[in-house]
Chains A and B, each alone.
Chain A
Amino acid sequence: MADASLSVVGAPLRHDSAHLHVAGQARYIDDEPETPDLLHLAFGTSTHARARIVAMDLDAVRAAPGVVAVYTAADVPGANDVSPVAGDDRLLADGEVVWLGQPLFLVAATSRRAARQAARLGRIDYDAQEPILTVEQARAAQSLIEPTQRMARGDAVAALAAAPHRLSGQLAMGGQDHFYLEGQIALARPLEDGQVHVLSSTQHPSEVQHLVAHMLGRSSADVTVEVRRMGGAFGGKESQAALYAAAAALVVHHTGRPAKFRADRDDDMVQTGKRHDFVVDYEVGFDAEGRIAGLCLRLASRCGATVDLSPAINDRAMFHADNAYFLGDVEIVSERLKTNMVSATAFRGFGGPQGMLAIERVMDAVAGHLGRDPLAVRVANLYGPGRDVTPYGMVVADNIAPDLIARLRSDARYDERQAAVARFNAESAILKKGLALTPVKFGISFTTTHLNQAGALLHVYADGSIQINHGGTEMGQGLYTKVAQVVAQAFGVGLDQVRITATRTDKVPNTSATAASSGADLNGMAALDAAETIRARLADFCARTFGCEIDAVVFAGGEVQAGGERMPWATLCRRAHMARISLSATGFYATPDLHYDRAAHQGQPFYYFAYGAALAEVVIDTLTGEHRVLAADILHDCGRSLNPAIDKGQIEGGFLQGQGWLTSEELVWDAAGRLLTHAPSTYKIPTANDRPDHLHVTLWDGANHRPTIHRSKAVGEPPFMLANAVFSALGAAIAATCPEAGWPMLDAPATPERILAALARQRDGVRA
């Protein structure tokens, strides 16, 4: 069949839209030509975090210049709901507000400026109540989005009591705004007979379709959602895009005119969810080597005012509280606190980073207590023979972490550089360096089992050109390119033969979000399934026509060989068409071997694990609290990479985004629940100058032990957590000022203020 030596798959091919991006011709939703009847939208929003709405006087809004219509909850014909699961996210507030900035009413006007200006003219009477904002307030009120979850094995309390050494501590880590460069946007257009077409910058077209349909009181078949590309998403357009799409569709429904909602950046940052912030309390018992005997972890996150995806996100935090380490007797308790803030949502890693940062802090604290090298403590705790079952009962089948860490340790000269850092610190009074090497083990699959499915639609035209469509969405990660590579390879043709088209709900239905790093795994397999169906038909046609065995038909190099016949691919396609062979097929894939008992938190929620490790070197200024990340060396596992250039881009980008989360990106709310950091002027994501001067990425050479698409591994989220090494290295630099005080109490993000505070505590000898 297809010649494996023809390597489209595995080649470092360019992003399918790169030539358009650099020419300014890649079309985003806001680039669509505007028709004169287009309406622009804006929300009027609440100024209280928790209140009953007594009255809304919108006369001034309606009278404002350019305003065509104003809608409230009463104007929603179907379900007033834009939530992914729980049915608790209102499109427009109905009687009460549960967070500050929540949409109350929707303005449609002839220009964006007119809509935004009018939206400020609403006069709302509130019966304000005391909001629940902090972890302490939520705990005191037992304000939860769902019952506290517990994952446990053995008897952690007894193991702690019996351990030779014990430590307890707390770590707080902040949330994170996605800061996709293209903000939230939707453009809805009326079709005949009440149907609606929505261009939505969404990772989840099917969910937008279903929510819009329910909101309008129509069927899913009446709504088509399309997305060609997003200008970044990172989880922020998994559930959050539905709000804007539904608003645009509502206006189309009432006016019969096209409607566009492009959120202003400040509004976007206020109105959409972010990564969950966490507070972690730990109590750990261990031996003289630092090997953990018992661990009690309490993870508490502020989920905001509604459920959104918080149950699954907090579950993933629990799943990753082991990272690459065996925890024998362990209890992980996870509190999901309901607070009067915008609902926290999916963000690259989906709770995994928070769980992993918790256990990395435990490793560092143990090392600090014992005066041992943190890497030695980490290595002592890795999964290994006889210690290979996770707290949720899944066997770690391909435990490559020990080998991967050993190789990075050697290649990046960990021991030599650790000694050099020690020498530097001995001679430097003001500047202190820190070095850390931390691993990543990340579970791949949606932990909600039914989401692990994908579909594809493949057409081969009579001229030999190929069009592939699948349920995955392109947000810059190169998914379209990877899937096109899979299809090209299946037919033995070049990538230029394959046109990959916009994701649309009328081409592939009932899709899952492009999330959980699953895009290429799921959609690549679905596309391959479709390609193999057509290839089998063509091979059968060749065998019958040219009198050879089906297995002797070879698709390679843009040609087809069948017995003694040899012809260009396009010629075969034409002949097959003339012979009335169907050249169109759907493909489908469902990840096998997944099962999970959520009540018991036991089972096999992941198909496999992706691994990695990073060594980070930092320097801090002990007078100002400022720091620089000097170097990062990364070794990351993509299985057999589908496209090493794209995968390296994901690794480097993920690492820097993780570095931002842990160092400079700080979300601040005031006492009323108002987000104060709602623009890039106050919320700092990394720039080219924050990137370490030395950033070296190597791909681990090894195939996935599972039969994934061409034995590759998912790469979207895992590299984000490589940046945990930066946070540990900062801790090490602070510890170097007063090693006898143990590991410093440094919270994330490690802003200059927090580093200074940690330095002060370290000087005062406060132990972590």
Chain B
Amino acid sequence: MSLHFVEFELNGCQIDGMVEARRTLLDFLRCDVGCTGPHAGCEHGVCGACTVLVEGQAVRSCLMLAVQANGKTVETVEGLSGGPKELHPIQQLFREEFALQCGFCTPGFLMTLVALDRSEPRPNAAEMREALSGHLCRCTGYQGVLRVIDRLTEDRK
């Protein structure tokens, strides 16, 4: 099996490795780099738990090959903050609004929300909710996530 050299910027650090062409970005991040924030939920690109940002765009890392990230910038949930004690404002809102229960889907929701929050023009609450319907949560009734959206969009008014 031939291996390919891949290097990209992950959460501000340059990383590299040798990967099979078919290795997904998710497996590369989790197994080779040890970056376990993106979670393997369905591995079909449906549940959204593995969502990361590539060049600022939210992508399903289970559907993207590691070699496709070559030369790009990749952000995962670990890169949003300096850790549990210095949370990004959206992470803080998630915590405050009980937007999680088991937490397995949470990193994916966060990455999509961060991408939406950074995008111009900024989407309104309804557009954010529509975008988040691409993420599955089995524990909550999505009420906390919707409160996060409300607070995010309120802040802008």
| Residues of chain A at the chain B interface (Cβ within 8 Å) | 14-15, 17-28, 30-31, 33-34, 178-183, 229-232, 234, 262, 264-265, 475-478, 645-646, 648-649, 652-653, 655-657, 679-681, 685, 687-691, 695
Instruction: Give chain A residues whose Cβ lies under 8 Å from the Cβ of B60.
Output: none
Q: Which residues of A contact B135 (CB under 8 A)?
A: 687-688
B132 contacts A by Cβ under 8 Å: yes
Partner of A25, one of B84, B129, B140: B84
A688-B107 CB under 8 A given contacts A22-B87, A679-B46:
no
Contact B138 A180 (CB under 8 A): yes
- Cα–Cα, bound, A34→B139 (Å): 28
CB contact between A33 and one of B34, B44, B106 (< 8 Å): that residue: B34
B87 touches A24 (CB 8 A): no
Measured between alpha carbons, how far is A242 from B155 in the docked complex, in Å? 48
Q: Which residues of B lie under 8 Å from residue A475 when comparing CB positions?
A: 102
* A30-B40, A476-B101, A649-B98 given; A23·B78 CB < 8 A: yes
A687 to B129: give the CA distance in the assembly, Å. 10
Residue from B85, B101, B145 in contact with A477 in the complex, judged by beta carbons closer than 8 Å = B101
A residues less than 8 Å from B133 (CB atoms): 687-690
Interface string of B84-121 (1 = CB under 8 A from A): 11010001101110101111111100100000000000
- Within 8 Å by CB of B98, from A19, A34, A232, A646, lies A646
Closest Cβ of chain B: how far from A486's Cβ, in Å? 19
- Contact, CB under 8 Å: B142 / A679: no
A680-B42 in contact given A656-B141, A688-B129 (Cβ < 8 Å): yes
A15 touches B78 (CB 8 A): no
Residue B76 at the chain A interface, CB threshold 8 Å = yes
Q: How far is the CB of B17 from chain A (nearest CB, A)?
A: 15
Contacting residue for A21 out of B34, B38, B83, B100, CB 8 A: B100
Q: How far is the CB of B67 from chain A (nearest CB, A)?
A: 16
Contacting pair A689 B130 (CB below 8 A): yes
A478 touches B101 (CB 8 A): yes
With A680-B47, A687-B136, A691-B142: A34-B105 Cβ-Cβ less than 8 Å: no
| A652 with B78, Cβ < 8 A, contacts A230-B102, A687-B135 known | no
* Binary interface encoding of chain B residues 69-84 relative to chain A, with 1 for a CB under 8 A from any of its CBs, else 0: 0000000111011011
Q: Which residues of B contact A25 (CB under 8 A)?
A: 37, 78, 83-84
Residue ID in chain B nearest A268 by CB atoms: B42
Beyond A181-B138, A262-B40, 19 additional pairs, beta carbon < 8 A:
A15-B98, A18-B94, A18-B100, A19-B84, A21-B106, A23-B81, A24-B38, A24-B78, A25-B84, A28-B39, A34-B31, A180-B102, A181-B41, A181-B137, A476-B100, A653-B141, A679-B44, A679-B46, A687-B135
From the candidates A231, A476, A648, name the one contacting B39 in the complex (CB within 8 A).
Answer: A231
Q: How far is the CA of A646 from the CA of B101 in the complex (A)?
A: 9
Q: Does the CB pair A265–B44 fall under 8 Å?
A: yes
* Docked complex Cα distance between A327 and B83 (Å): 57
For the complex, is B58 an interface residue (Cβ under 8 Å from A)? no
CB pair B139–A653 under 8 Å, yes or no, is yes
- In the bound complex, residues from chain A placing their C-beta under 8 Å from that of B84 are 19-20, 22-23, 25
Across-interface contacts of A645 in B (CB, < 8 A):
98
Q: How far is the CA of A234 from the CA of B139 in the complex (A)?
A: 9
Question: What distance in Å separates the Cβ of A77 from its nearest Cβ neighbour in chain B?
Answer: 31
Residues of chain B with a CB closer than 8 A to A30's CB = 30, 36, 39-40
Task: Name the residue in A22, A34, A179, A657 with the highest tally of chain B Cβ atoms < 10 Å from its Cβ.
Answer: A22
Q: How far is the CA of A385 from the CA of B17 in the complex (A)?
A: 74
Kindly state whether residue B68 has any CB partner on chain A within 8 Å: no
Known interface pairs A265-B42, A265-B43, A653-B140; A22-B98 also in contact (CB < 8 Å): no
Q: How many angstroms from the CA of A88 to the CA of B120 in the assembled complex?
A: 59
In the complex, the answer to whether B36 meets A232 with C-beta atoms within 8 Å is: no
Taking the closest CB of chain A, its distance from the CB of B154, in whole angstroms, is: 18
Contact status A181-B105, CB under 8 Å? yes
Distance (whole angstroms) from the CB of A236 to the closest CB of chain B: 10
28 pairs, CB–CB < 8 Å, chain A vs chain B: A14-B98, A15-B98, A18-B103, A19-B95, A22-B110, A24-B37, A30-B30, A34-B31, A178-B138, A180-B104, A181-B138, A182-B104, A231-B104, A265-B41, A476-B101, A648-B143, A649-B101, A652-B140, A652-B141, A653-B138, A657-B138, A679-B42, A681-B46, A685-B138, A687-B134, A688-B145, A689-B130, A689-B133
Which of B37, B49, B77, B143 makes the CB contact (< 8 A) with A652?
Answer: B143
Within the complex, the shortest CB–CB distance from B138 to chain A, in Å, comes to 5
A89 CB → nearest B CB, Å: 25
Cβ–Cβ < 8 Å partners of A31 in chain B: 30, 36
Return chain B residues, CB-CB under 8 Å to A182: 39, 41, 102, 104
- Nearest to A30 among chain B residues (CB) is B40
Q: Which of B24-38 contact A (CB under 8 A)?
A: 30-31, 34, 36-38
The 9 closest A-B pairs by CB, nearest first: A24-B37, A476-B102, A231-B104, A21-B103, A652-B141, A476-B101, A24-B77, A680-B46, A31-B36
Residues in chain A near residue B102, CB distance under 8 A: 180-182, 229-232, 475-476
Nearest residue, chain A, Cβ from B91? A22
Which chain A residues border B49 with CB–CB below 8 Å? 181
A179 to B106, CA, bound (A): 16
Complex interface: chain B residues within 8 A of A652 (CB): 140-141, 143
Distance (whole angstroms) from the CB of B108 to the closest CB of chain A: 9
For the complex, what is the distance from the CA of A55 to the CA of B93, rounded to whole Å?
A: 58
Residues of B within 8 A of A649 (CB): 98, 101, 139-141, 143-144
In the complex, B63 has a CB within 8 A of chain A = no
B152: Cβ under 8 A from any A Cβ: no
Counting CB contacts under 8 A, is B65 at the interface? no
Q: Quick one: which of B40, B104, B132 has the most chain A CB within 10 A?
A: B104
**B24 → A minimal CB distance (Å):** 10
Which of B31, B40, B144: most chain A CB closer than 10 A?
Answer: B40
Chain A's closest residue to B36 (CB) is A31
A17 partner residues in chain B, CB cutoff 8 A: 103
Instruction: Assess the A15–B47 pair: CB atoms within 8 A.
Output: no
Instruction: Kindly list chain A residues whose C-beta atoms are within 8 Å of the C-beta of B106.
Output: 21-22
Residues of chain A lying within 8 A (CB to CB) of residue B44: 265, 679-681
Does B146 interact with chain A (Cβ within 8 Å)? yes
Closest to B144 in A: A649
Q: Which residue of B lies closest to A679 (CB)?
A: B44
